[in-house]
Chain A
Amino acid sequence: MRARMSDLSPAIDRAATPTQELRARPTQWGALVAPMLVLVFIFFVIPILYLLRMSFAEQAFAKSVVPIFGVYSLENFAEIFGDIFFLDMIVNSLIVGTGTVVATLLISYPIAYYLTLTRGWERTLILVACLLPLFVNIIVAVLGWYILLLPFGVIQNMLSALGLIDGPLGALKSFWALITVLTYEHIPFAVLILAASLQNISPDKINMARVLGSGVYRTFLTIVLPLTMPGVVATVILVFALSISSYLVPALITGQQVMVLPIAIFSYTSYLLNWTLAAAISLILLVIVAGITFGLTILANRLTRRGEWEIV
């Protein structure tokens, strides 16, 4: 132990000296981020380029394992955009993503707000409740929902027993079930992001708005919401991207009943073995996520004029 301490001491000494030395040699920082850059390049950039190339390959080459020497055309995209089945699927995915985002925000924002106001055991309870699901594997969590939502499962039996429904419940394998489970999955992330954002607003600012004559709603709309906008945007982007690209939840909850893009991608790669079409669908999904992320950031920045001001 002692030996290790003495090994560390030169490093500590160096850290104690002014950072000038570190700043003078950016190549050192380059060395530190290099492994990360290599990983990103090999496992992200190259596959994306490969995907791009494959999505423009003609379907005649679809069944070859490495269809990169084929003939390129817009055949795949023509098929997708010409088929109501695919268009429906894109719309489904958009509805699921948007619905999950809205539901997650509506549930998480009040929880996060409450979290910033409480102290003691209540705070701990909410934080634990938020963090605990993150430690549970999503398959296990979804299985719980699966049992609840099963035909003749817990929810249906309960509603029947109460006399509210008669016979199987149609909604159990619908959009609503999918959105519910995806919302459940993403609430913890949203609460943590939003709480961090809300925590940054000093109570003085809220008190000030009230002294200046604003009621609860106006204070929320003019002060709290604009100041937490960065957190809201981060939440929207994260939840939208995760839920629109979620495969596991739709696969386990709704199966083929609600066709969303990830299910189709999986089908085309695994059963139908049309890789080029799957690549094209993947690219569309990617463009949707990237487009919404980018567009939303721009829009939110425009609306709140971010970049022009800083928190004071």
Chain B
Amino acid sequence: MSAHETHDSQAGLETAETTSRRSGLHLHGLKKLFNEQVVLDNLNIEMARGELLTLLGPSGCGKSTTLNLIAGFIQPDAGRIILHGKLANQLPPQKRRLGMVFQSWALFPHMTVFENIAYGLHNRKLSNYEIAGRIEEMLRLVRLPGTGEKFPSQLSGGMQQRVALARALVTEPELLLLDEPLSNLDAALRKEMEVELKRIHNQLKITTLLVTHSQEEALVMSNRVAVMQNGRITQVATPLEIYNQPKTRFVCTFLGDANILEGVVESKVKGVAVVRTNNFSVMVADDNDRLQAGGRAILGLRPENIEIATTDARTADNAIPAVITDVIFKGSNITYYLRAGEQVILVLTLPSMSESPHSEGQQVQLLFPKSSPLILEDDEEGDEGEDV
């Protein structure tokens, strides 16, 4: 989704209105300034009902600002927020029918778990009997039965997180906003909660917007991932697509590791380009005609897509001589640091039971097919899109 795709043409607006009736959330051309610094610039997001979309980006990219705009804590300087098919720019937070989980969880410490979860229900004027039933059900869903009479301070971090989630879900919101909900948990618990959140989302099918800076959370949990940088969305796609076909250098390096090769396109024949970097040449399949002979090229090469060969027995489209400079054994995988000319290259391999890993200082060949290098665009150097 390019920043300029749907600019204010009248026709564009009308289709936006009609489609947004079916969508859970539609952000149109959102802009936000803080102290005359552009934090968000022409942000467009459309979420289908029941979808789990992740806003992924480094801290300061504007993802939390986006969430605060959707929740109504701050007002946009331009653009429109369409919630459940209705323009919501002027609605106060309490009228937006949202569920939300903060990074801090923001549990009310002076209320029991039961009262915390019931808080939103009391605003809905439900009978006590109905409230008790719903809370019972919620506590079962988040796997915390029997904790209703406890206070938040008597629960562990993971349990508090579940209470926060139950409180957000119990009102049956049309849109659930999760603001880095797992970042206060330790690594093991975070993994468990990722799966748990995914299970609950699959069960309830609530339209969910997750904000995170963790690529793992994004890949594990989302239907689609929107990568943000400097207040703009760089790419929106499924986790698989965004990992395998990243659009820009930033997306490629932010999601997973990547070796970035820069060079000039030497020749291009029948969808195969040869890119010459300072140190070696690389053969690249370019089926969509994105490279031009004589032009600049940025290639991304995933460490797991490169093979290390010690003999000349096997060959591939690309075979680059290199020296191993470092070997890092991580149990389930081995990371090699190699040097090909001046270029440092990372290679990830699975350890094998029969072979011992390669050793430092070894002369090897790096093999990869011409389909492996990802053709990337350079990052937009936004005129006002500085780090904020």
Contacts and interface: CB of A to CB of B under 8 A. Distances in A.
Is B one of A's binding partners? yes
Interface of A: 202, 204-205, 207-215, 218, 222-223, 226-227, 304-306, 308-312
Contacts of B95: 213
A204 B94 contact: no
Contacts of A309: 109-110, 151-154
B266 to A, nearest CB: 55
Contact of A214 (B106, B123, B167): B123
23 contacts: A202-B104, A205-B106, A207-B93, A207-B106, A208-B100, A208-B106, A210-B73, A211-B98, A212-B94, A212-B120, A213-B95, A215-B94, A218-B123, A223-B108, A227-B109, A306-B110, A308-B151, A309-B110, A309-B151, A309-B152, A312-B152, A312-B153, A312-B160
Report, nearest first, the 3 A-B pairs whose CB atoms are least far apart: A213-B123, A212-B120, A204-B106
Interface of B: 71-73, 92-96, 98-100, 102, 104-110, 119-120, 123-124, 151-154, 160, 167, 171
Contacts of B124: 213
A209 B96 CA distance: 13
A207 B101 CA distance: 11
A213 B94 contact: yes
Contacts of B152: 309, 312
Contacts of B100: 207-208, 211
Given A207-B93, A308-B151, A212 B110 contact: no
Contacts of A202: 104, 106
Contacts of A227: 109-110
Contact of B93 (A210, A226, A311): A210
Nearest to A215: B94
Given A213-B94, A311-B109, A207 B73 contact: yes
Identify which of A211, A215, A222 gathers the most chain B CB atoms within 10 Å of its CB: A211
A214 B107 CA distance: 15
A208 B102 contact: yes
Nearest to A223: B108
Contacts of B151: 308-310
Given A204-B104, A226-B110, A209 B160 contact: no
Nearest to A305: B110
Contacts of A304: 110
A211 B107 contact: no
Given A202-B106, A207-B71, A309-B110, A212 B153 contact: no
B183 to A, nearest CB: 14
User: Which of A208, A306, A308, A311 counts the most B-chain CB atoms under 10 A from its CB?
Assistant: A208
Contact of A210 (B94, B105, B107, B160): B94
Contact of A212 (B92, B119, B154, B160): B119
B210 to A, nearest CB: 16
Contacts of B92: 210, 215
A304 B104 CA distance: 22
B153 A209 contact: no
Contacts of B160: 312
Contacts of A215: 92, 94
A211 B123 contact: no
Contact of B99 (A210, A211, A226): A211
Contacts of B120: 212-213
A307 to B, nearest CB: 10
Contact of B167 (A212, A306, A308): A212
Contacts of B102: 204, 207-208
Contacts of B108: 205, 208-209, 222-223
Contacts of B171: 212-213
Given A222-B108, A309-B110, 7 more contacts: A204-B102, A209-B119, A212-B167, A213-B120, A215-B94, A227-B109, A304-B110
Contact of B109 (A207, A210, A218, A312): A312
B305 to A, nearest CB: 42
Contacts of A305: 110
A271 to B, nearest CB: 52
Nearest to A204: B106
Most chain A beta-carbon contacts within 10 A, residue among B92, B106, B109, B123? B106
Contacts of B110: 226-227, 304-306, 309
A205 B109 CA distance: 10
A184 to B, nearest CB: 33
Nearest to B99: A211
Nearest to B73: A207
A150 B90 CA distance: 53
Nearest to B95: A213
B153 A211 contact: no
A128 B107 CA distance: 34
A309 B167 CA distance: 18
A219 to B, nearest CB: 8
Contacts of A209: 108, 119
A310 B119 contact: no
A190 B72 CA distance: 33
Among B94, B120, B154, find the residue whose CB has the most chain A CB atoms closer than 10 A. Answer: B94
A41 B236 CA distance: 74
Contacts of A207: 71, 73, 93, 100, 102, 106
A215 B72 CA distance: 13
A227 B152 CA distance: 14
Contacts of B104: 202, 204
A298 B356 CA distance: 72
A205, A212, A305 pick with most chain B CB within 10 angstroms? A212
Nearest to A311: B109
Nearest to A227: B110
Contacts of A213: 94-95, 120, 123-124, 171
Nearest to A213: B123
B109 A214 contact: no
A103 to B, nearest CB: 27
Nearest to B157: A312
Contacts of B72: 210
